[in-house]
A = this chain, B = another copy of it.
Amino acid sequence: MRSSVVRDMFAVTSDPRTISFAGGHPGPEAFPVDELRSITDAIISKYGPAVFQYGSTEGHAPLRRNISALMQETYGLLHDPEDILVTSGSQQALYLLCRVFLNPGDLVITENPTYLGALNIFRSFLADIRTVEQDEEGMNISALEECLAELASGGQKPRFIYAIPSIHNPTGVTMSAERRSGLYDVADRYDIPVIEDDPYGMIRYDGLAVEPLKKLDARGRVIYVGSFSKTVSPGLRTGWIAAQSDIIRKCTIAKQGDDACSVTMAQFIISDFIESGAIYRQIERVKEMYREKRDIMAEALREMIPRASFNIPGGGLFLWVALPEELNAMDLLKKCLERHVAFVPGCNFYTDHGGANMLRLNFSFPSRDRIHEGLVRMAEIVEAELARSGVLN
């Protein structure tokens, strides 16, 4: 097992002087503190001891019903609450799925680049990770099909395909409808489950909501993983898996051994936050806040580091930035940390040697002023590096 770069960065970013573009933290101003405080007080008053007792491994029954209602309301997705497992964050959801699906050496397919937290879990299970390239419409489906055909010709079959179809981490890309149905068809034809990781799907800033892959799922191939970390609170560690009964049953057994059940109080809080409708207002609030921060960062970046190139993501918490190829983001990070600025070098999202000049910048956590100040410092370092590497000569 190796320590995740993102989490190691927590140590650096815990220094209050550090301006962190590194993690995936919500902005402190985004938490609905007063609402959560009154909900918490109300549920303790109303349910008393039940809020502090063990809960079932599957999760608090009203929360499972409310998650089902949320998926229906947001995506028009009908899913039986019985086939939902509440998890301790979507991190645990991915972990449990690996525990259920993977033996050492088993094949897993992911987009390249992809969420480094997922890569770290797959690696810790000693998975053999194969990757499929993506472009601005998402995963390259012909490449996926080629990959699967080649594996099949060698008698090999991946245990699952891991994908982030909506507002990909780190690229920000949302897979087109055509690619989604292509992905589903190929997975169906090759009889391979797809894990759809969807922490950002509900916080889309521009354009219409995109339907999750799960909505195409006539034959129960898609394992949907959701999270309240980016919409409500990551500290409440509440995520979920929506999948076929047999998968939910196996993940539940795995969860029994892992942490027995998730925190009862957190589940009561989130359940009430959905049921009262507060979550829909909160999602709108978060969208507005982060859209603005995204635009502030994009504008400052264009102005201060004009040689950086990037697309504007339609949602999520990150800009995915390419620097001139002469620059190495790991070297840059070292220098930036000396000036108390942190980010995640792009190479960490790749399984191969890709992404050396890429970096992922988070805009949800830092304040507007700190976004500006952090980019001022980065720009100075980038300029110096460019001069040193001869690009500016």
Interface residues of A (CB under 8 A from B): 1-4, 7, 10, 14, 23, 25-26, 28-29, 31, 33, 36-37, 40-41, 44-45, 48-57, 88-89, 91-92, 95, 117, 120-121, 124, 229, 232-237, 250, 253-254, 256-266
Contacts and interface: CB of A to CB of B under 8 A. Distances in A.
Contact of A235 (B88, B92, B265): B265
Contact of A40 (B7, B44, B95, B232): B44
9 contacts: A26-B53, A31-B48, A31-B49, A52-B234, A95-B258, A120-B257, A235-B264, A237-B260, A263-B263
A259 B234 contact: no
A4 B257 CA distance: 8
A166 to B, nearest CB: 21
A4 B55 CA distance: 15
So how many copies of this chain end up in the complex? Answer: 2
Contacts of A91: 257-260
A31 B53 contact: yes
A49 B236 CA distance: 12
Given A7-B57, A52-B31, A237 B254 contact: no
A33 B254 CA distance: 31
B52 A33 contact: yes
Contacts of A265: 235-236, 263, 265-266
A120 B57 CA distance: 15
A101 B52 CA distance: 32
Contacts of A14: 56
A23 B256 CA distance: 14
Nearest to A93: B259
Nearest to A55: B235
Contacts of A50: 28
B235 A52 contact: yes
A263 B37 CA distance: 16
For the complex of A and B, 4 pairs with smallest distance between CB atoms: A235-B264, A52-B233, A28-B49, A88-B259
Contacts of A232: 52
Contacts of A234: 52-54
Given A1-B254, A257-B120, A56 B10 contact: yes
Contacts of A7: 57, 256, 260
Contacts of A36: 44, 52
Given A120-B257, A235-B264, A265-B266, 8 more contacts: A2-B253, A36-B52, A52-B232, A52-B234, A88-B88, A92-B258, A235-B261, A263-B266
A40 B265 CA distance: 11
A120 B41 contact: no
A379 B26 CA distance: 57
Contacts of A2: 253
A279 to B, nearest CB: 14
Contacts of A89: 259-260
A266 B235 CA distance: 9
